[in-house]
Amino acid sequence: MLAYEEEVSGYDIKKWADWSLRHYYWSPSFSQVYSELKRIENHGYAASRMAGGDGGRNRRVYKITDAGRRAVRIWALDAPVDPPMLKHGALMRTAFGHLSTPDTLKAMLREHVDRVEALQHRIAVDAVAAEAEPAWAYARIAMRWAERYYASERELALELIAEIDAADEVFNAGKRGESFPRPRPGHWREIEEQVKATEDDD
């Protein structure tokens, strides 16, 4: 937010992150925001001052410095982009479905669909609101991407729900008289070697 050249408080940055960044990257806590502001100020990338706020209450506001502009410009132009890392609670729960039941998994995933639909609606509204400010043009297309991501997430979750019964049939067929299928000891190592051999051939 400092890169937009506006003088803002830590509270402003937190609210802005909750409005936009949380949909496609991260929503920091207030403590993380303030510790990061202190860090970049110590590096000379931002300068702060006390300013009057609403109701006459003073607050500390921050503004980017010339050094900060150079640093963020270098980051935008040259810094490598980290690969996306999938950390998906609903998918993790599904992967351990042998500890649950098909009905429980389906109910959990339907709740996930409801949450995703709410997020998709929220980001769609916010993306339209962002059209009011030309300086947010790039942020707006990132928000539009997030909207499409949530739509895709919804469809994938619905497909997962539809696949649960078939997975349960395969699971039950492997019980062989036991309470649940137990993988053959060490079988995962054989599978790992097979996959590695395939990758080496490629």
Interval 102-157: pLDDT, tens: 999 999 999 999 999 999 999 999 999 999 999 999 999 999 999 999 999 999 99
How far apart CA 4 and CA 33 sit, in angstroms, is: 17
The CATH number of the structural domain formed by 2-78 is 1.10.10.10
Contacts of 145 (CB under 8 A, 6+ apart): 24
Identify the sign of the CA torsion 16, 22, 24, 25. Answer: positive
Does the predicted TM-score (pTM) go above 0.85? no
Phi, psi of 132 (to 5 degrees): -70, -20
Separation of first and last alpha carbons in the chain: 45
- 23 CB neighbour count, 10 Å cutoff: 22
- Extents of the domains making up the chain: 2-78, 89-201
